[in-house]
């Protein structure tokens, strides 16, 4: 049992477990703040800065600090303001800056509209794409154990790319990157039983029972090796597995009745 | 040569001192960064060649020392003859023979090579009499220019490693921390965090192991104090680190040196090898139970790696992206373990604090900023170089009494301190004392010690644009406010310098600056807008002139200036025609040259090469 | 032109085979080959047990590394603040015009590489240009031809 602490959020006193991050507590209270680079599966990064909140304590004599709630652990007697004027101004500026970077991204445009911005007040980046450099794709790929892609370069020219700009040797075509990208930048195609992503082609497994395409052979192999699951498991899709399970459970129930009677 | 006891060290100290006193004189050739760039290596070679051949009483090539930065770089290459302290300036290899015959074989002076005081026009023989030196108080820079960069024996002869012996055999770890705390030493890298408190926190940290890292990533353009110390007196840094290791309980240390300083890497590694040979590093140092090793870790070339969490990632072989500092690196630093990270100059002060006591150090400087501070005084001053003064010395004293005032008697405009995190202060602020807090209150920052003086021919808009461009280049790119915010600030600064901006753009920049400051993840972003904010505070008119009048008063911003040949002064020497890369200047030899304004790209090369003063910029 | 990979094992053997050695190994490779050939990145990733994507990340993050072959003479112009106010940009332009390349590029005959560097710590002798590790201080605009012959 971890120690409980008491903090004040927007005037309301709430309790939290020591060591919890502010963002989790704020969300638990039903308060919505954007956090584009946040994902439960990976360590918080503090890159997009949208989840910034203003914090203070009584003993700080009116001085306050601005911290990203995804990374700030709760402390007893912390006073948090999630929508103070400066915080809202910061969020508006950040969204404005993102819009300058990705003027054509529907997701960013929608977010900008929430702050009353239809066109960026800054200079649009020439030849920009819709990548907001939240790093979710690379972090999730690391978490999955593949580390196939990474960011290259630094500063304004930074971008996400496979190593040496070639088909990444460590990619298994699991789509974790593409499916979690907030702005749907990562392209992939499934055509027949071939999946193409990052200029690499993979063979999709067809379910031995119903023929539906499941995951790539490479992804299955990786899971099989790391989790010690036999490859044959992946030759059946999830639905057919469940159908099999229903039949098996049914058969067990019937056998039990026979034995009893 | 394993030194096992303090007594042994003392004996060596006496022996090495006696070895030096065998020679009636010493020749010190400055091989600091400035003099090396002016050809010091050739002078050393010439000395060695000639001294091997000549026979001089009580003198040999062994009395020649290649030293670290002596300080007055503007007058280099420098050669000093001890014990008199005769100071030769702008020495060339062809002068060496004369110096040997005149000042070493005999006791006379080569007057042509002496320093001339610009105020009195008199030559001065001894460097101690030059105001550049007489106003200084050198602690961190104490042996620079006096001892060989390559020989531990020189360091021991000057009393080196005695502080270590005292710390290990006469003090307990808590005593060491007490002394450092009493001294009031604050981080010399610029952040100014109290060193004693940092060491105490690390000592108490339960997680093991503890690490000691020296931050040698002196990224601020204009600063080279740490480079001079690492190259010229590496043992002072090692000694400070070993004392720290004893205090906080560490066995592994790293010195992180930026990639642009290969000589510092070499000299530090040589010093580490020698110190290990003598038993000051390794196992059972000086016969105690302290074991400590230091490795040199080279940077890859990234200004952001001067930031402590980015530095530690770089030491671990990763990209130098800082992390949010909600858990301090003194508790979770290198490899997530408790780490003390201090600057080169901070460590160089430690042996003196231990030897002479923290109170003596604290008696210098000001109550909140004790001790001294090294500065690199560069730019448009007469005496550019490396200096060290007590904290609290005013900007005016530094720039005029030590710096000798502005080159060519041009009007002073501003002094830029604190690198890209700092700002510009105008003449009205010259009487401010330099310390950790006063300059920050005025809108600038003391920073690591880079002090760049600019005159009326420097445009502050161009300077702000320069710093913003620098930071955009060096940003790690992780967080939006820094990566995108500084980029947009830079674009707006470019707009102003091209005469394309409106007054609302200034307001836009001010508002964006505030957001970048509160939103950024690390110090690079948080202090990034400072050069802009400080220049707009003190030089708003100059910005407005660019915007309203589309004019650059300093004659720098290319889109707003023009170069013209002054017909009366031009004698047709062809120099500018040769220098012009876009062939915009026409004219035959002996005839007045003409600049075609349509072709001219305002690069300023013609202006720079003209020796007839025949080109003007408006 | 494939690089001679036989020198690589010796370089990697200088350091412990852990991820921590990555930057040091890459620097030695850079020094030996004057750039980072892609084959060396792949071998380094294997030897130090670091994912190739991370090796590539590090290779592109730091200024010291180049993924493309550099010239025989590497001319680095310091563009630190002091050098900037003492005219580094003019010198840069002169060299760019004479060599017909921009900073960051290499001449097609692989003779010259031109680079800018953010302060080398010789600020008192600004402007500073380094040709193949030799420092030249107080460089004048008219010296640009001379610099090309140096190193």
What domains, with CATH codes, occur in chain A? 4-83 (3.10.20.740), 136-243 (no CATH)
Which residues, listed in sequence order, are joined to residue B452 by a DSSP beta bridge? B378, B416
Nearest to A155 among B326, B475, B518 (CB): B475
Residue B325 has pLDDT above 80, yes or no: no
Nearest alpha-carbon partner for B103 in B84, B89, B122, B76: B84
Residue A38 has pLDDT above 90, yes or no: yes
Residues of A in contact with C38 (CB under 8 A): 164
The CATH number given to whatever domain includes residue B77 is 3.40.30.10
The CATH number given to whatever domain includes residue B485 is 1.20.1440.230
List phi, psi (to 5°) of A47: -95, -40
Nearest to C90 among B262, B376, B603 (CB): B603
Evaluate whether B474 touches A155 at the Cβ level (below 8 Å).
Answer: yes
Neighbours of chain C (3+ CB pairs under 8 A): A, B
Question: Is A151 close to C57, i.e. CB distance below 8 A?
Answer: yes
Which residues, listed in sequence order, are joined to residue B450 by a DSSP beta bridge? B376
Over its C-alpha atoms, chain B yields an Rg (Å, rounded) of: 26
Section B414-422 average pLDDT: 93
Same domain for B225 and B323, yes or no, is yes
Three-class SS state of A6: strand
Residue B108, domain member (yes or no) = yes
Question: Is B219 close to C64, i.e. CB distance below 8 A?
Answer: no
| DSSP-assigned letters across all residues of C118-135 | S--S-GGG-S-EEETTEE
Same domain for B518 and B569, yes or no, is no
Residue C107 vs residues B156, C36, C112: alpha-carbon distances, Å: 50, 18, 5
Evaluate whether B455 touches B406 at the Cβ level (below 8 Å).
Answer: yes
Mean pLDDT (chain A) is 94
Residue C98 vs residues B596, C78, C116, C131: alpha-carbon distances, Å: 21, 18, 16, 16
Question: ipTM of the predicted structure?
Answer: 0.93
**Mind telling me how many Å the CA of A217 is from chain B's nearest CA?**
32
**Mind telling me how many Å the CA of A125 is from chain B's nearest CA?**
10
Dihedral sign, Cα of residue A14, residue A16, residue A18, residue A21: negative
Name residues 7-66 of chain C within 8 A of A (Cβ). Answer: 38, 41, 51-57, 60-61
Q: Give the end of a domain, one of B430, B455, B480.
A: B455
Question: Is C81 close to B73, i.e. CB distance below 8 A?
Answer: no
Nearest to A89 among B475, B479, B515 (CB): B515
Question: Is B485 close to A93, i.e. CB distance below 8 A?
Answer: yes
Same domain for B443 and B479, yes or no, is no
CA distance B228 to B144: 8
Interface test with B, best of A63, A122, A142, A182 (most B CBs within 10 A): A122
Position A257 scores a pLDDT of 86
Nearest to A133 among B324, B477, B519 (CB): B477
- The verdict on C132 touching B (C-beta cutoff 8 Å) is no
Nearest to A66 among B487, B488, B518 (CB): B518
Same domain for B529 and B609, yes or no, is no
Comparing alpha-carbon positions, the chain A residue that sits nearest to C39 is A164
Residue B555, domain member (yes or no) = no
Question: Is A97 close to B480, i.e. CB distance below 8 A?
Answer: yes
Which residues, listed in sequence order, are joined to residue A52 by a DSSP beta bridge? A68
Evaluate whether B92 touches B173 at the Cβ level (below 8 Å).
Answer: no
Residue C104 has pLDDT above 80, yes or no: yes
CA distance C100 to C107: 8
Q: Give the end of a domain, one of B321, B338, B362.
A: B362
**Mind telling me how many Å the CA of A157 is from chain B's nearest CA?**
8
Where does the pLDDT of residue B324 fall: very low under 50, low under 70, confident under 90, or very high at 90 and above? confident
- The verdict on C26 touching B (C-beta cutoff 8 Å) is yes
Mean pLDDT (chain B) is 94
Residue B1, domain member (yes or no) = no
Distance between start and end Cα atoms, chain C: 25
Section B176-196 average pLDDT: 96
Could you give the angle at the alpha carbon of B92 between the alpha carbons of B86 and B97, nearest 5°? 70
Where does the pLDDT of residue C1 fall: very low under 50, low under 70, confident under 90, or very high at 90 and above? low
CA distance A13 to A79: 9
Residue B309, domain member (yes or no) = yes
Section C113-132 average pLDDT: 89
Neighbours of chain B (3+ CB pairs under 8 A): A, C
B452-468 pLDDT tens trace: 999 999 999 999 999 99
For A186-203, b/e burial (b = at least 16 CB within 10 A) is beeeeeeeebebbebebe
Interface test with B, best of C15, C81, C139, C150 (most B CBs within 10 A): C81
Question: Is B227 close to C121, i.e. CB distance below 8 A?
Answer: yes
A203-218 pLDDT tens trace: 999 999 999 999 999 9
Evaluate whether B477 touches A133 at the Cβ level (below 8 Å).
Answer: yes
Q: How far is CA A133 from the centre of its chain?
A: 13
Evaluate whether C126 touches B454 at the Cβ level (below 8 Å).
Answer: no
CA distance B338 to A67: 23
Q: Say whether the peptide bond before residue B83 is cis (omega within 30 degrees of 0).
A: yes
Interface test with A, best of B299, B317, B321, B478 (most A CBs within 10 A): B478
Residue B426, domain member (yes or no) = yes
Position A126 scores a pLDDT of 86
Nearest to C23 among B300, B603, B609 (CB): B300
Dihedral sign, Cα of residue B444, residue B445, residue B450, residue B451: positive
Residue A66 vs residues A52, C72, C113: alpha-carbon distances, Å: 6, 50, 45
Residue B143, domain member (yes or no) = no
Residue A1 has pLDDT above 70, yes or no: no
Position A82 scores a pLDDT of 97
A91-128 pLDDT tens trace: 999 999 999 999 999 999 999 999 999 999 999 998 88
The CATH number given to whatever domain includes residue B195 is 3.40.50.11540
B255-314 pLDDT tens trace: 999 989 999 999 999 999 999 999 999 999 999 999 999 999 999 999 999 999 999 999
Residue B594, domain member (yes or no) = yes
**Mind telling me how many Å the CA of A72 is from chain B's nearest CA?**
6
Over its C-alpha atoms, chain A yields an Rg (Å, rounded) of: 24
Residues of A contacting chain B (CB within 8 angstroms):
45-49, 52, 66-68, 71-73, 86, 89-90, 93-94, 97-98, 100-101, 121-123, 132-133, 135, 151, 153-158
CA distance B241 to B164: 10
**How big, in percent rounded to 5, are the helix, strand and coil portions of chain A?**
35, 20, 45
CA distance C138 to B202: 45
Residue A229 has pLDDT above 70, yes or no: yes
- The verdict on C68 touching A (C-beta cutoff 8 Å) is no
Nearest to B314 among C23, C65, C94 (CB): C23
Nearest to A156 among B326, B477, B518 (CB): B477
**Mind telling me how many Å the CA of B465 is from chain C's nearest CA?**
11
- The verdict on A150 touching C (C-beta cutoff 8 Å) is yes
Same domain for B470 and B492, yes or no, is yes
Residue C85 has pLDDT above 90, yes or no: no
Section B219-241 average pLDDT: 95
Spatial neighbors of B474 by CB under 8 A, at least 6 apart, are A155, B219, B302, B303, B304, B420, B524, C118
Same domain for B429 and B394, yes or no, is yes
Secondary structure string (H, E, C) spanning B211-246? EEEEEECCCCCCCCHHHHHHHHCHHHHHHHHHHHHH
Interchain CB contacts (distance < 8 Å): A and C: 37
CA atoms within a 13 Å half-sphere pointing along the CA-CB vector of A241 = 9
Question: Is B579 close to C57, i.e. CB distance below 8 A?
Answer: no
Interface test with A, best of C53, C63, C104 (most A CBs within 10 A): C53
Distance between start and end Cα atoms, chain A: 48
Residue B342 vs residues B217, B317, B537: alpha-carbon distances, Å: 11, 20, 32
Domain span at residue B415 reads 372-455
Question: Is A150 close to C38, i.e. CB distance below 8 A?
Answer: no
Question: Is C82 close to B316, i.e. CB distance below 8 A?
Answer: no
Report how many domains make up chain B: 5
Could you give the angle at the alpha carbon of C58 between the alpha carbons of B341 and A135, nearest 5°? 95
Evaluate whether B292 touches B253 at the Cβ level (below 8 Å).
Answer: yes
CA distance C28 to C13: 11
Where does the pLDDT of residue A261 fall: very low under 50, low under 70, confident under 90, or very high at 90 and above? low
The CATH number given to whatever domain includes residue B582 is 3.30.70.20
**Mind telling me how many Å the CA of A237 is from chain B's nearest CA?**
39
Q: Domains in chain C, ordered, with CATH?
A: 5-61 (1.10.10), 73-149 (3.40.30.10)
Residue C58 vs residues A136, B286, B611, C50: alpha-carbon distances, Å: 19, 40, 47, 11
List phi, psi (to 5°) of B519: -90, -20
Spatial neighbors of B249 by CB under 8 A, at least 6 apart, are B173, B203, B210
**Mind telling me how many Å the CA of C121 is from chain B's nearest CA?**
5
Same domain for B122 and B33, yes or no, is yes
- The verdict on A164 touching C (C-beta cutoff 8 Å) is yes
Count CB neighbours of B98 within 10 A.
13
CA atoms within a 13 Å half-sphere pointing along the CA-CB vector of A70 = 24
Same domain for B222 and B307, yes or no, is yes
Dihedral sign, Cα of residue B155, residue B158, residue B162, residue B163: negative
Same domain for B447 and B501, yes or no, is no
Sheet of B210-216, strands arranged across? B293-298, B250-257, B210-216, B339-343
CA distance B342 to B252: 14
Question: Is A67 close to B302, i.e. CB distance below 8 A?
Answer: no
Same domain for B539 and B581, yes or no, is no
**CB under 8 Å, gap of 24 or more: what pairs does A139-143 form?**
A139/A39, A139/A42, A139/A43, A139/A45, A140/A39, A140/A41, A140/A42, A140/A176, A140/A177, A140/A180, A141/A171, A141/A176, A141/A177, A142/A42, A143/A41, A143/A42
Percentage of chain A surpassing pLDDT 90?
92
Residue B465 vs residues B28, B62, B457, B532: alpha-carbon distances, Å: 42, 50, 16, 8
Q: What is the dihedral of CA B514, B515, B521, B524, to 10 degrees?
A: -40
Same domain for B180 and B287, yes or no, is yes
Residues of C in contact with A151 (CB under 8 A): 57
> Is the pLDDT higher at B361 or at B326?
B361
- The verdict on A162 touching C (C-beta cutoff 8 Å) is yes
Section B327-343 average pLDDT: 94
| DSSP-assigned letters across all residues of B355-386 | HH-HHHHHTSB-SSSBSEEEEEEEESBSS-EE
List phi, psi (to 5°) of C48: -95, 0
Same domain for B358 and B235, yes or no, is yes
Nearest to B37 among C61, C63, C128 (CB): C128
Q: Give the end of a domain, one of B497, B521, B549.
A: B549
- Give the pTM: 0.93
């Amino acid at each position: 049992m971890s120690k409980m602490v008491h903090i004040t959020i927007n005037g309301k006193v709430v309790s939290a477990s020591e060591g919890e991050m502010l963002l989790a507590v704020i969300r638990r209270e039903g308060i919505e703040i954007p956090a584009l680079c946040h994902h439960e599966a990976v360590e918080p990064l503090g890159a997009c800065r949208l989840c910034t909140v203003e914090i203070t304590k009584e003993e700080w004599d009116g001085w306050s600090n601005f911290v990203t709630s995804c990374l700030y652990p709760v402390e007893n007697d912390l006073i948090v303001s999630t929508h103070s004027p400066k915080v809202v101004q910061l969020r508006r500026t950040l969204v404005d800056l993102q819009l300058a970077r990705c003027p054509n991204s529907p997701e960013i445009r929608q977010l900008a509209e929430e702050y009353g911005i239809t066109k960026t007040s800054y200079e649009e980046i020439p030849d920009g794409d819709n990548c907001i450099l939240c790093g979710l794709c690379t972090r999730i790929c690391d978490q999955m154990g593949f580390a196939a892609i990474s960011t290259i370069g630094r500063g304004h020219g930074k971008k996400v790319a496979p190593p040496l700009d070639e088909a990444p040797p460590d990619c298994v075509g699991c789509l974790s990157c593409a499916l979690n990208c907030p702005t749907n930048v990562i392209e992939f195609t499934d055509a027949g039983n071939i999946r193409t992503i990052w200029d690499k082609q993979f063979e999709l497994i067809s379910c031995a029972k119903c023929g539906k395409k499941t995951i790539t052979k490479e992804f299955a192999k990786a899971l099989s090796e790391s989790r010690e699951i036999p490859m044959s498991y992946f030759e059946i899709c999830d639905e057919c597995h469940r159908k099999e399970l229903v039949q098996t459970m049914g058969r067990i129930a019937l056998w039990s009745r026979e034995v009893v009677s | 040569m394993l030194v096992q006891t303090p007594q042994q060290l003392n004996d060596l100290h006496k022996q090495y001192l006696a070895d030096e006193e065998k020679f009636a004189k010493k020749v010190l050739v400055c091989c600091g960064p400035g003099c090396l760039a002016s050809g010091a290596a050739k002078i050393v070679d010439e000395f060695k060649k000639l001294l091997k051949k000549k026979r001089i009483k009580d003198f040999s090539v062994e009395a020649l020392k290649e030293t670290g930065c002596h300080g007055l770089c503007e007058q280099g290459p420098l050669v000093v003859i001890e014990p008199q302290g005769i100071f030769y300036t702008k020495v060339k290899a062809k002068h060496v023979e004369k110096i040997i015959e005149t000042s070493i074989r005999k006791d006379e002076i080569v007057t042509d090579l002496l320093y001339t005081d610009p105020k009195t026009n008199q030559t001065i023989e001894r460097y101690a009499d030059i105001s550049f030196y007489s106003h200084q108080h050198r602690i961190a820079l104490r042996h620079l220019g006096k001892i060989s960069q390559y020989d531990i024996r020189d360091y021991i002869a000057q009393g080196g490693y005695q502080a270590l012996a005292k710390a290990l055999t006469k003090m307990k770890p808590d005593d060491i921390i007490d002394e450092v705390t009493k001294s009031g030493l604050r981080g010399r890298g610029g952040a100014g965090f109290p060193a004693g408190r940092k060491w105490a926190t690390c000592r108490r940290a339960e997680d093991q192991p503890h690490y000691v890292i020296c931050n040698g990533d002196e990224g601020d353009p204009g600063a080279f104090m740490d480079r001079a110390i690492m190259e010229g007196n590496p043992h002072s840094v090692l000694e400070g680190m070993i004392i720290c290791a004893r205090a906080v309980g560490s066995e592994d240390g790293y010195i992180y040196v930026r990639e642009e300083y290969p000589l510092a890497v070499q000299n530090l590694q040589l010093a580490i090898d020698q110190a290990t040979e003598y038993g000051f590093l390794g196992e059972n140092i000086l016969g105690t139970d302290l074991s400590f090793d230091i490795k040199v870790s080279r940077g890859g070339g990234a200004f952001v790696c001067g930031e402590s969490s980015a530095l530690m990632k770089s030491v671990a072989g990763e990209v130098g992206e800082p992390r949010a500092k909600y858990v301090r690196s003194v508790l979770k630093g290198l490899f997530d373990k408790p780490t003390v990270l201090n600057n080169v100059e901070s460590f160089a002060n430690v042996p003196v604090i231990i030897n002479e006591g923290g109170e003596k150090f604290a008696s210098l400087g000001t109550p909140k900023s004790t001790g001294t501070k090294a500065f690199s005084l560069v730019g448009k001053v007469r005496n550019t170089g490396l200096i060290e003064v007590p904290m609290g010395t005013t900007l005016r004293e530094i720039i005029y009494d030590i710096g000798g005032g502005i080159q060519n008697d041009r009007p002073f405009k501003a002094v830029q301190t604190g690198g890209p995190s700092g700002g510009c202060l105008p003449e009205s602020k010259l009487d401010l004392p330099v310390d950790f807090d006063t300059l920050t209150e005025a809108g600038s920052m003391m920073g690591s010690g880079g002090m760049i003086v600019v005159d009326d021919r420097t445009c502050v808009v161009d300077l702000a644009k320069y710093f913003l461009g620098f930071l955009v280049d060096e940003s790690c790119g992780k967080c939006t406010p820094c990566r995108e915010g500084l980029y947009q600030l830079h674009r707006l600064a470019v707009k102003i310098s091209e005469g394309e901006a409106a007054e609302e753009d200034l307001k836009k920049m001010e508002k964006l600056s505030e957001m970048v400051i509160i939103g950024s993840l690390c110090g690079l972003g948080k202090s990034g807008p400072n050069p802009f904010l400080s220049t707009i505070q003190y030089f708003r008119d100059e910005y407005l002139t660019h915007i309203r009048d589309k004019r650059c008063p300093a004659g720098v911003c290319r889109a707003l200036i023009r170069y013209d040949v002054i017909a009366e002064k031009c004698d047709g020497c062809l120099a500018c025609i040769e220098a012009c890369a876009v062939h915009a200047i026409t004219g035959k030899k002996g005839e007045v040259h003409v600049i075609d304004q349509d072709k001219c790209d305002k690069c300023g090369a013609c202006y720079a090469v003209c020796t007839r003063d025949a080109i003007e910029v408006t | 032109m494939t690089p001679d990979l036989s020198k690589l094992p010796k370089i990697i053997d200088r350091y412990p085979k852990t991820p921590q050695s990555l930057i040091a190994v890459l620097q030695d490779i850079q020094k030996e080959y004057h750039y980072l050939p892609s084959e060396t990145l792949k071998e380094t990733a294997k030897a130090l047990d670091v994912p190739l994507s991370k090796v590539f990340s590090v290779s592109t993050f730091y200024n010291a590394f180049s993924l493309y072959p550099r010239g025989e003479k590497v001319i680095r112009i310091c563009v630190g603040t002091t050098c900037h106010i003492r005219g580094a940009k003019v010198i840069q332009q002169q060299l760019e015009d004479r060599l017909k390349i921009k900073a960051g590029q290499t001449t097609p005959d692989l003779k010259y590489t031109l680079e800018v560097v953010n302060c080398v710590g010789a600020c008192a002798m600004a402007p500073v240009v380094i040709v193949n590790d030799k420092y030249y201080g107080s460089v004048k605009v008219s010296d640009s031809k001379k610099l090309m012959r140096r190193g």
